[in-house]
Amino acid sequence: MAKYIFVMGGVLSSLGKGIATASIGLLLKSMGYKVVLQKFDPYLNVDPGTMSPFQHGEVFVTDDGAETDLDLGHYERFVDEALSSASSCSAGQIYESVITNERKGVYLGKTVQVIPHVTNEIKSRITRLADQYDFIITEIGGTVGDIESLPFLEAVRQLRLDLGIQNTLNILLTYVPYIKTAGELKTKPSQHSAYKLREIGIQPDILLCRSEKSFEDEIYGKIALFTNVPKSNVINAIDVECVYEIPLIYQKAGLPQIICQHFACEERVINLHDWQVFLDNKTRSEGDVTIAVCGKYVRHQDAYKSVVEALTHAAIGLRKRLIIKWVDSERNLQGDELSRELSEIDGILIPGGFGVRGIEGKITIAQYARENNIPLLGICLGMHVMAIECARNLCGFDDANSTEFDDMNAHPVIHLMEDQRYIDFVGASMRLGAYQCKLEEDSLAIQSYGTEVISERHRHRYEFNNEYRDAIRNAGFKLSGVSMNDLLVEVIEYPHNDYYIGVQFHPEFKSRPNRPHPLFTKLIQASLKV
Ligand code: GLN
C-alpha cells in the first residue's frame, strides 16, 4: 500500500515548501522507492494558466499539457520524473467537479457540502495514484490559518483516520526568526503554527524549521515541548546558498531514517552520486559567465524560474559561476545606451512572454545580438521576436510583426494558428504540452541535441507564418526544426553567427541539475567561446 506524506506550511509563505517537498522526494527516490509528488493549491482558479506571472510566477507545463504551479518545476528538477496533470490540483478544479456532479444529479438529492462532498473529492484526488507508487508526497499550498486551505487540511486530517497513522505522515515547515536586538532565535511563531494545525485536528509528526542561524540544543527541546513533536523529529532546515544543497541537509539531519521508521519500511542506502557531482562542480567552478535575460517580468524573477535554473545547470556543468544581468525590455534601450547596457555580457536569452509591452525592446536586442555575433537563445516569444527582426531588417518588411501585437500589419510573420482563431475560453486553450520535432541535418539544433527527433513542451497560441518560410530562408536563416508533419516551424537559426537560435517550445522545463539541457549548454559554451 502506498504511504502518504503531507507537507504543510506555517508562519508565512515563501519558506520553500516546494523545495522541501522536492527534497524529500529525491531522498526517497535515491533509496530506490517509487515516488510521486503532487501539489494541491487552495486558490479558485482552475489552473495557474490564466494567472499573471507578476503575481504567481512561472506557469510550469507538463508533457501532457497541464499548466501548473512552479513548484512542479522543482519536483521535476529534483526527482527527475516527468509529472502529469494528476500532480497538480486546485480548489477551482475541486469545486468545478463537485458542481458538475451536482448538476448531473450524482449526489442523489443530498445537500452538497464542504464536508463530505468537497473533502471527498480532495481525498479521491490525493489517493488517485495510489496503486503505482510507494510514496505519494502531497504539498498543500498556502499557510496554515488561511481560510482557503481549510478543506484541504480537513481532507489531510480525515486521511489519517481512513488510512491509519502507519500510512500517513504530517510534516510542517515553519520559520524560526533570529531577532537581532535580542540576539535570539524565536520559537513562538512555530509554536503557534503547530497550535493552529492541532486546532483543526492535525498533529504534525515532523517539523522542518527554517532559520538563518543554527539551533542550540535547548531550541530543539523548546520547540518539541510546545509543538508536541518528539525532539528527534524537529529538524533545523538552516538557510543555504543553493537550494540543491537542501536534500543533503535533510539527509545529515536524519530525515530519511525518521520517515522510514515512521512507516516501518526498509531504511535503504541513499545513492545521491549524480547530485553530489553537480554540487562538486558548483564548488569547483572557476570564472563567471554573464547572461543577459531580457524580458518584461525582470522585477518578478519567479516568472523565469525554469529559465534561471536551466542556465544555472548549464553553467555549473561547465564549471562556471552564472551571473544573470536582468534587462528590462520595456526600457527599449537603443544605440549607445543599449551597447553600454550589454557591454559586459557574454550571451543573451530572450524568454517567453505574452502581450505587447517590451516587444520593441526585445526586437532591438535581437538585432544587436545578430549584428554583433553575440550568442542568443530565443524561447517562444523570443523566437517570434527573432523572426520579426529578420523580416524587418533583413527582408525589408519594415512593418513586420506578430498579429499578437498588431493584427493589421501587412507582414504578419507570426500569426495565430487556425484552431486558435475561434476560441471562446482562454483557460487551457493554447497549444500545450509535448510535441515532437524533426531537426535539419548540419544545423546548430541537431549539433546541440545530437539526435534527429526531439520532444519538447509548448505553451503558446501564435506560430511562424508559413507564407514567410522562403523570405526568411532567403535572408540567410535556417528553419532547422519543423513539426513531424512539416506544417509548423519550430526552430529558426542564423548560421552566420556562432550561436543564434530561436525555438518555439520551452526547453527550460526539461533541464535537470545533473542533465543540463543541450541548448543551454551550447549557449553557455558559445558565450564562453569554448
Ligand atoms: N505570446 C506568444 C504566444 O502566445 C508566446 C507565448 C510564450 O512565449 N510562451 O504565442
141 and 204 co-located in one domain: yes
Half-sphere exposure of 266 (CA within 13 A, CB side): 7
Q: Which of 76-80, 415-419, 526-530 has the lowest mean pLDDT?
A: 415-419
199 Cβ neighbours under 8 A, 6+ residues apart: none
Q: Does the Cβ of 359 fall within 6 Å of ligand 1?
A: no
Distance 525 CA to ligand 1 centre (A): 27
For residue range 127-156, list pLDDT tens digits in order.
Answer: 999 999 999 999 999 999 999 999 999 999
Please tell me if the CB atom of residue 381 comes closer than 6 angstroms to any atom of ligand 1. Answer: yes
Angstrom distance (rounded) from CA 488 to CA 418: 12
Query: Nearest CA to 296 among 325, 340, 331?
Result: 331
If asked whether residues 290 and 263 sit together in one domain, one would say no
> Ligand 1 in contact with 404 (CB < 6 A)?
yes
Residue 278 lies in a domain: no
CA of 460 to the centre of ligand 1 (A): 4
Q: Give the Å distance between the CA of 463 and the centre of ligand 1.
A: 9
List C-alpha distances in Å: 449 to 192, 203, 245, 463.
51, 49, 29, 22
H/E segment holding residue 224: helix 217-227
Out of 271, 303, 330, a domain closes at: 271
- List the domain range (segments joined by +) for residue 215: 3-271
458 neighbors 466 (Cβ within 8 angstroms): no
> Quick check: 169 pLDDT over 80?
yes
Ligand 1 atom at minimal distance to the Cα of residue 458? 9
What backbone torsions phi and psi does residue 322 show, to the nearest 5 degrees? -90, 130
Identity of residue 111: T
The verdict on 145 and 174 lying in the same domain is yes
Kindly tell me if the per-residue pLDDT of 403 is higher than 90.
yes
Q: Grid coordinates representing 1? A: 500500500
Exposure b/e, 95-128, CB count within 10 A at least 16 = b: bebbeeeeeeeeeeeeeeeeeebbbebbbebbbe
- CA gap 142, 154 in Å, rounded: 14
Cβ(460) – ligand 1 distance below 6 Å? yes
Q: Count how many residues are written for the chain.
A: 530
Of 271, 293, 314, the one marking the end of a domain is 271
pLDDT of 424 strictly over 80: no
How many whole angstroms separate alpha carbon 516 and alpha carbon 505? 16
Any bridge partners for residue 292, and if so which?
325, 348
- Determine the atom of ligand 1 nearest the C-alpha atom of 379: 8
Question: Which pLDDT band, with edges at 50, 70 and 90, does 297 fall under?
Answer: confident
Q: Can you give the pLDDT at residue 29?
A: 98
Task: Kindly tell me if the per-residue pLDDT of 426 is higher than 80.
Answer: no
Ligand 1 atom closest to the Cα of residue 354 is: 1
Q: Whose CA is nearest to atom 5 of ligand 1?
A: 381
Domain count of the chain? 2
Is 222 among the domain residues? yes
- The CB of 208 under 6 Å from ligand 1? The reply is no
Domain edge (last residue) among 238, 271, 304: 271
CA of 505 to the centre of ligand 1 (A): 9
Q: What is the mean pLDDT of the chain?
A: 95
Residues 263, 334, single domain; the answer is: no
| Higher per-residue confidence, 281 vs 14 | 281
150 close to ligand 1 (CB < 6 Angstrom): no
Q: Give the domain CATH number at 123.
A: 3.40.50.300
Interacting residues of 147 by C-beta distance below 8 A, sequence separation 6+: none
SS3 letters for 461-473?
Answer: CEEECHHHHHHHH
Looking at the fold, whether 343 and 441 belong to one and the same domain comes out as yes
Q: At 302, which amino acid appears?
A: D
> Domain holding 419: CATH number?
3.40.50.880
pTM of the entire predicted model: 0.95
Same domain, 143 and 103: yes
Q: Strands 60-61 and 67-68, how do they pair?
A: antiparallel
Q: Is the CB of 362 under 6 A from ligand 1?
A: no
Active-site residue set: 380, 506, 508
Per-residue confidence band for 13, with pLDDT thresholds at 50, 70 and 90: confident
Q: Residue 279 falls within a domain, yes or no?
A: no
Q: Are 337 and 436 in a shared domain?
A: yes
pLDDT at 257 over 90: yes
Q: Which three cell numbers stand for residue 418?
A: 487556425
The answer to whether position 445 is within a domain reads: yes
Inter-helix orientation angle 71-79/17-30, to 10°: 20
Q: What proportion of the chain, given as a percentage, has pLDDT over 70? A: 100
Q: Which three cell numbers stand for residue 270?
A: 541513499
Please indicate whether residue 494, judged by its CB atom, sits closer than 6 Å to ligand 1.
no
The predicted structure's pLDDT at residue 211: 96
Count of Cβ atoms closer than 10 Å to residue 372 Cβ = 11
What is the predicted pLDDT for the residue at 160? 98
Categorise residue 101: left if φ over 0, alpha if ψ from -120 to 50, beta otherwise: alpha
Percentage of the chain exceeding pLDDT 90: 92
Amino acid, single-letter form, for residue 181: T
In the predicted structure, residue 265 carries a pLDDT above the cut 80: yes
CA-angle at 123, arms to 251 and 260, nearest 5°: 25
Amino acid symbol at 521? T
422, part of any domain? yes
- The response to whether residue 354 sits with its C-beta less than 6 Å from ligand 1 reads yes
Report how far ligand 1's centroid is from the alpha carbon of 383 (Å).
9
Nine-digit cell string for 48:
495557474
461 within ligand 1 shell (Cβ under 6 A): yes
Question: Measured from the CB, is residue 42 less than 6 Å from ligand 1?
Answer: no
Within 8 A by CB and 6+ apart from 36, the residues are 81, 83, 87, 129, 132, 133, 135, 136, 137
Cα(53) to ligand 1 centroid in Å equals: 13
Confidence of residue 89 (pLDDT cuts 50, 70, 90): very high
- Nearest atom (ligand 1) to Cα of 381: 8
Distance spanning both ends of the chain, measured CA to CA: 51
What pLDDT score does 316 carry? Answer: 97
Ligand 1: which atom is nearest the Cα of residue 404? 1
H or E segment to which residue 474 belongs: helix 469-474
Are 240 and 300 in the same domain? Answer: no
Q: What is the pLDDT of residues 209-246, one digit of tens each?
A: 999 999 999 999 999 999 999 999 999 999 999 999 99
Q: Report if residue 443 sits inside a domain.
A: yes
Beta bridge partners of 325: 292
Is position 446 within any domain? yes
pLDDT level of residue 486 (50, 70, 90 thresholds): very high
Q: Nearest CA to 157 among 198, 121, 128, 186?
A: 198
CB-ligand 1 contact for 380 (6 Å cutoff)? yes
Q: What angle in degrees, to the nearest 10, is found between the helix axes of 150-163 and 91-104?
A: 80
Looking at the DSSP bridge assignments, the partners of residue 207 are 172, 234
Residues 101 and 126 in one domain: yes
Does position 437 have pLDDT exceeding 80, yes or no? yes
- Both 253 and 309 in one domain: the answer is no
Same domain, 508 and 476: yes
Q: What is the DSSP letter of 105?
A: T
Give domain status of residue 277, yes or no.
no
Kindly report the protein residue whose alpha carbon is nearest to atom 7 of ligand 1: 352
- Which atom of ligand 1 is nearest the CA belonging to 462? 10
Ligand 1 binding pocket mutation candidate from 380, 419, 489, 490 (most atoms within 8 A of CB): 380
Nearest to 420 by CA among 384, 457, 380, 461: 461
The closest-lying atom of ligand 1 relative to the alpha carbon of residue 430 is: 4
Distance 456 CA to ligand 1 centre (A): 15
Q: Are residues 255 and 289 in the same domain?
A: no
92's enclosing H/E stretch is helix 91-104
Which pLDDT score, from 0 to 100, does residue 421 have?
78
> What's the CA-to-centroid distance between 527 and ligand 1, angstroms?
26
